[in-house]
Amino acid sequence: MSRRAHRRPAALPPAKAQGESAAPSARETGEPPRRRPGIRIHKAMAQAGVASRREAERMIAAGLVRVNGEEVLQPGRLLVPGDRLSVAGRGVAWEGGAPHELWALYKPKRCVSTLSDPQGRRTVKDFFPRTEQRLFPVGRLDYDAEGLLLLTNDGELAQRVTHPSYGMARVYLVKVRGTVAAAALRTLARGVPLDGRTRRPARARILHTVNDKTWLEVVLREGIQHHIKKMFLAIGHPVLKIKRYQIGPVELGDLKPGQSRKLGRADSERLMGWAESFRRGQRAASRGGAGRAGADEVPMLDLPAEELAAS
């Protein structure tokens, strides 16, 4: 007589209580897991043109944001259709959003890059163009600095321009006290320790030197408060003047202090493209690839002699 192999019976699922039913899981149905409905508050504020995501987070932390009349302190709170959002007492139409605009502004000296100032100083809002959209400045320039500042109501674009992970190049004309040596430029190219950590390499080249003063072109891919002033002070050269000429592919052009010009969709797309290109280069470099994530791909300034003479 042949002997048959005996197999252990498969374990049975626990018995369900009478009347109990269980919905099939995403794995059983083959459908992707469902996301929680809604949109995070800081993202909704950015899309509505209130502020960039980072600025929106600061506004939330400061207690300026309310949903359905209740104060919100967490940027991760979700908004769902029908929720009433207000910022600093003003209602925000966050569902649908406003048409996006992008402007280039020549920020004058002795002007703060915020929409208000507790000290009563002049702000960039005094130079905003006439438009129905609610614009905000993208990033900042020091009070005594001048040059290109972007204005927009597109929070996603502002995030690409300002967040360090996108490495958006910013090009400056900088005048410092003293004669800058080649060794000092190499120090900048390695990255200078500021505010507790070594910063990204900065590209700098000497344009002109006269009477113990040096004019340089400087390219940064990140920005902290008073970045250029701290960086040059660290190598022994106090800054006398800062003028920003370029942000990514957008140039100051022939704008005069206080003037602005409206940019088109192509400019917005180029800015987004520059940001994504840098990020891809960073990832390729981290994997040992040939990606370039430095400032060397930004074209050098070709400043006329009268610009240097006027500086």
- Residues identified as active-site: 142
- In a 10 Å sphere around its CB, with 0-12 CB exposed, 13-18 middle and 19+ buried, how is residue 65 labelled? buried
Answer yes or no: are the C-beta atoms of 158 and 247 closer than 8 Å.
no
| CA atoms 303, 305, 308, 310: torsion sign | negative
**Tokens read off for 25:** 């899981």
| 55: DSSP letter | H
47 in Cβ contact with 153 (< 8 Å) = no
In the structure encoding, which two tokens stand for residue 137, read together? 């400045």
Contact 218, 203 (CB under 8 A): yes
CA separation for the pair 77, 84 (Å, rounded): 13
